[in-house]
Amino acid sequence: MHPPFLLWHLPRYHAERRPDARALTSGGEHLTYARLAREIERCAAALQALGIRRGDRVAVWLDKRPETVIACFGAAAAGAIFVPINPLLKAEQVHYLLRDSGARCLVSAPTRLRTLLPWPEGVAPGVLAVDEPGQGVPPDAHSWRECLAQAGAFAAPPATENDVAAILYTSGSTGRPKGVVLSHRNLVAGAQSVASYLENSPEDVLLAALPLSFDAGFSQLTTAFCAGARVVLLNYLLPVDVLRTMERERVTGLTAVPPLWVALAELDWPAPVAAHLRYFANTGGKLPRRVLERLRALAPQAKPYLMYGLTEAFRATYLPPEEIDRRPDSIGRAIPNAEVFVLREDGTPCAPREVGEIVQSGPLVAQGYWNDPERTAERFRPLPPAVDPRPSPVPAREWAVYSGDYGWLDEEGYLYFAGRRDEMIKTSGYRVSPTEIEEALIASGLVRECCACGLEDERLGQIIAVALQPAVEPFDLEALRRHCRQHLPPYQMPQVFLLSDQPLPRNPNGKLDRPAIRERLARYAKTQTQV
């Protein structure tokens, strides 16, 4: 066949060339590329037999297992749009995603399905129940096993690379979650780009530890299948489970978010883990420098990749391993097949070291937000004439996503993250990045993790408040204050400290839940004022 241009072509491409190579591992089960491609087509035929047509939405609410992968890729093969739902979400949240996406079919497990019943008004998808030991198929649901066994021959519907393949819902840091609309082109181009700079090959074994509903989590599948590598699915309870799986499966590549890296860095790694690991990659937030150095010491042969991206454009930048020591605070340069700019509010490029909004263009940029033209128009726009001066009509111009993130470029074009537009703290006339505060606190060695927020203040505009989990007991708050005074200018000094003996709240994607933490800090600050 021709090189892949639709999502489901990725595994099929290697099935035709290396049919017996392992593509997927889950527990003790291994699927070859030939079997995976065959199961995907059986799933697609089964969905077609159930009446699923081109453009219909198929939601998938499962933990990481082969059926999850097969359902997503099978829906795409059938011409449908798959909607992966984080398995940690509760019934009310799942109901919302089903209603918002207009899902015609839900693939899930009986134990999960029972938590959704009775269906609320406006939600009544057809159900395909993945068989579980000791669990019968719920009423009005179809058996996954029976449907796939009875499926006829698969006939691929007409499709183009610009057809919508998936809707990935963001965590909804403000308001309800947003459905990011991704085409086959978005997903395939992203896989090709990441696989190229990570130098993935058929010899690689990638660990899928992140949720598959998360863009970086699903990327472990697409990147592996693009390269013909093997991907290992893992539902872990403890960080040590990750290390055990890495040792057993001889994992060569692991991508994770900072909270998981922080936890892994605190463990002793078995020698085989470090021996097999070829690279480790961070996404979803700033990796503290002390954690990065600890990981490099634990796995000295592994190449570290620091990455930045957003669901609306999959991935934006990466810092090559050879640049880590020269510029450890940078989030790198544009990935292959993408352009990244830092722009002022008037659309002109920022000068070196001038903070502006990070804007990305290229084939990885999503098609917008599902059923939300207003927010789509806010975030997805043509590049301004100062960047793209071509006199052609707007449709012919390169469209871009305006990230809502602030950053700056150095003289060599390397990008540095300053903070989220809606997380930036404005105090005493200054714009302060929470990241700066958080890095300073962690550098003290007294803080395991922390989150800085701005709280409204009549005099200063906002004051800086910090929620933190101590790294040492007993904790000396005054010592932390002294450290801050030594390393931060007066306008960046936190005025409120809230200590927690538990890890800080996180959203389903494993990132700090900043809105929830901000609310907690606001309540605490009021009690301190009253006292």
CA distances from 13 to 4, 71, 78, 288 (A): 7, 18, 17, 39
Domains and CATH numbers, the chain: 9-13+22-186 (3.40.50.980), 425-530 (3.30.300.30)
What is the mean pLDDT of each successive set of 10 residues along the chain, which is 531 residues long?
Answer: 83 97 96 98 98 97 98 98 93 92 97 93 93 86 96 94 95 68 97 97 97 94 98 96 98 93 94 98 86 96 94 93 92 95 95 95 95 93 84 62 93 89 75 84 95 86 94 95 89 93 91 92 84 37
Task: In whole angstroms, give the CA distance from residue 434 to residue 135.
Answer: 48
Task: In whole angstroms, give the CA distance from residue 180 to residue 476.
Answer: 44
Task: In whole angstroms, give the CA distance from residue 47 to residue 229.
Answer: 27
- φ, ψ at 489 (rounded to 5°): -65, 160
- Convert the pLDDT of each residue in 329-361 to its tens digit: 899 999 999 999 999 999 999 999 999 999 999
Task: Work out the number of other CB atoms within 10 angstroms of the CB of residue 381.
Answer: 16
Task: In whole angstroms, give the CA distance from residue 41 to residue 33.
Answer: 12
- Convert the pLDDT of each residue in 390-429 to its tens digit: 665 555 456 899 998 899 999 999 999 887 777 778 787 6
CB-CB contact of 205 with 229 (8 Å): yes
- φ, ψ at 383 (rounded to 5°): -60, 140
CA distances from 344 to 347, 384, 488, 498 (A): 5, 11, 26, 35
pTM of the predicted structure, to 2 decimals = 0.86
